[in-house]
A = this chain, B = another copy of it.
Amino acid sequence: MLKKLVLTGAAGRLGSRLRAPLSALCETLVSTDIVESIEGLASNETYVAADLADLAAMTQLLKDADMVVHFGAIGDEAPWEQIHSANIMGAYNVWEAAYQNGVRRVVYASSIHAVGMHPKSECIGTDAPHRPDTFYGLAKCFAEDLGSLYWDKRGIEAVCMRIYSCAEVANPRAVGSWLSYDDLIQLVTRAIDTPVTGFAVVYGISDNDRAPVDNSKAQFLGYRPKDNAEQFAEKIFAEHPPLDPQNPADMCHGGPFATVELGNSGVARLGLKD
Contact = CB atoms under 8 A, between A and B. Distances in A.
Contact of A122 (B137, B138, B274): B274
Interface stretch (A29-37, A40-48, A150-158): A150-158
B1 A264 contact: no
Contacts of A138: 142, 145-146, 149
25 contacts: A1-B238, A80-B92, A80-B96, A84-B89, A88-B88, A120-B220, A121-B198, A121-B200, A123-B219, A123-B220, A127-B129, A133-B152, A152-B273, A153-B258, A153-B261, A153-B271, A154-B263, A154-B269, A155-B263, A193-B233, A196-B243, A197-B245, A209-B224, A212-B219, A222-B230
Interface of A: 1, 80, 84, 88-89, 92, 96, 99-102, 104, 117, 119-123, 127, 129-135, 137-138, 141-142, 145-146, 148-149, 151-155, 157, 172-173, 175-176, 190, 193-200, 208-212, 214, 216-224, 230, 233, 237-238, 240, 242-246, 248, 250-252, 258, 260-261, 263-265, 267, 269-274
A271 B155 contact: yes
A131 B152 contact: yes
A161 B92 CA distance: 26
Most central of A121, A265, A270 by chain B CB within 10 Å? A121
Contacts of A224: 209
A251 B152 contact: no
Contact of A209 (B121, B123, B152, B222): B222
Contacts of A221: 210
Contacts of A153: 117, 133-134, 258, 260-261, 271
B264 A251 contact: no
Given A88-B88, A131-B152, A152-B271, 4 more contacts: A138-B149, A141-B142, A198-B273, A222-B233
A218 to B, nearest CB: 7
Contact of A220 (B101, B152, B176): B176
Contacts of A212: 219-220
A224 B229 CA distance: 13
Given A145-B141, A172-B195, A216 B218 contact: no
A211 B219 contact: yes
A196 to B, nearest CB: 4
A250 B195 contact: yes
A221 to B, nearest CB: 7
Nearest to A157: B245
A253 B102 CA distance: 26
Nearest to A238: B1
